[in-house]
Amino acid sequence: MTELDEERQLQEYDKGGMIAVIEAYPDQCREGIALGDGFRPEIPTGVDKVIVCGMGGSAMAGEVARRFSRVPVFVNRNYTLPSFAGDGTLIIAVSYSGNTAETISGLDAGLRARIPAFAVSSGGKLEEIARSHGIPHLRVPRGYQPRAAMGYLALSVLRVLAQAGLLRIEPDWEELIHALESVRDASRAAVPEADNPAKQLARSLYGRIPLFYGTAGNTDLVAMRWKTQVNENSKQPAFWNVIPELNHNEIVGFSDERLRQGLSCVFLKNDYDHPENRARIEIMHELLHGKVPAVVIGADGRSELSQVLSQIHFGDYVSYYLAILNQIDPTPVELIESFKRRMSAR
């Protein structure tokens, strides 16, 4: 038995109860789908682009929408809207707290330009703005860290877009939930490290700086999510990039043996990668052999949606177990809160 298998050890560091939230993620996704199903905002015909205003964990709703939309989706992480906002645009403002300054500013700009919009939050100023301007607002349950509410945020938005005919896929929601449950069954805390792939991967990354590599237009959002979860849950540096772009620059960064010490690479693949990108993953793995520890991670499920979201779910477990190995509570993000207080004071 290792420390990752000892309930006492998990309870000692996981004071915020993050493991319970992660293990309830498939149920949260089911609830998110139901929330979106019951939310019927009036979306104009002729929408040819979507701007999702969101930051941090809330922005993942936009990244998931971007991955599966049949129209261009731009995830806006700024105070202002991009210059192409205008006719044919739909704005979706997503802020779990409802108080994210950049998201509120982006929505305000859209409202001044009379661009159709709806909002998603657990309350806060975003709900007040929606009410005062008469735009639809979907309230999701309170009490979570924004990054831990992805099921509520992303799945509700995805369901709304599906109802509006703005997705290029026909989601099999039950197959998605089944894939997520498969990840949970294999990776939950009760499964010992000897049989638990998430604990094993966390162990291999412990004490190292992980580099997460996805593929363009497919697992790129997974790599970004893994990176941010390691930052926030595990409280350590991590980085991400995308194949094939990294083969044109970042690959050369492994040349100096001194500078690659302490790095680990995780390649994220699934059945929907372009064949050329699958070959690139294989070649990268071969080139790094003996230089940098590297592992290739696949996905559960049959559909594009289930494979992408199951990889995200698996990454949440990995970041959690890495936090325990780092002997730190995965829930609080004090540096973020301190930064917000300083910004507010100014």
Q: Where are the extended beta strands (E) located within the chain?
A: 49-53, 73-76, 89-95, 117-121, 137-139, 209-215, 239-243, 263-268, 294-297
Q: Of 49, 274, 285, 340, which residue is the catalytic one?
A: 340
Active site residue 286: no
Active site residue 31: no
Contact 158, 65 (CB under 8 A): yes
Active site residue 282: no
Q: Is 89 helix (H, G, I), strand (E, B) or coil?
A: strand
Contact 155, 68 (CB under 8 A): no
Ramachandran class of 218: left when φ > 0, alpha when ψ lies in -120 to 50, beta otherwise? alpha
Ramachandran class of 143: left when φ > 0, alpha when ψ lies in -120 to 50, beta otherwise? left
Q: Is 184 helix (H, G, I), strand (E, B) or coil?
A: helix
Amino acid letter at 323? A
List of residues 6+ apart from 169 with CB closer than 8 A: 68, 303, 304, 305
Residue from 200, 146, 165 nearest 321 by CA = 200
**Separation CA 339–CA 216 (nearest Å):** 32
List alpha helices for 75-138, DSSP H: 101-112, 124-133
**Separation CA 311–CA 325 (nearest Å):** 21
Q: Which tokens in the block code for residue 63?
A: 């990244």
**Separation CA 206–CA 40 (nearest Å):** 45
Please name every residue paired with 49 in a beta bridge, in sequence order, or none if there are none: 89
Q: Of 232, 235, 269, 313, which residue is the catalytic one?
A: 232
Q: Of 42, 170, 248, 286, which residue is the catalytic one?
A: 248
Give the active site residues: 232, 248, 340
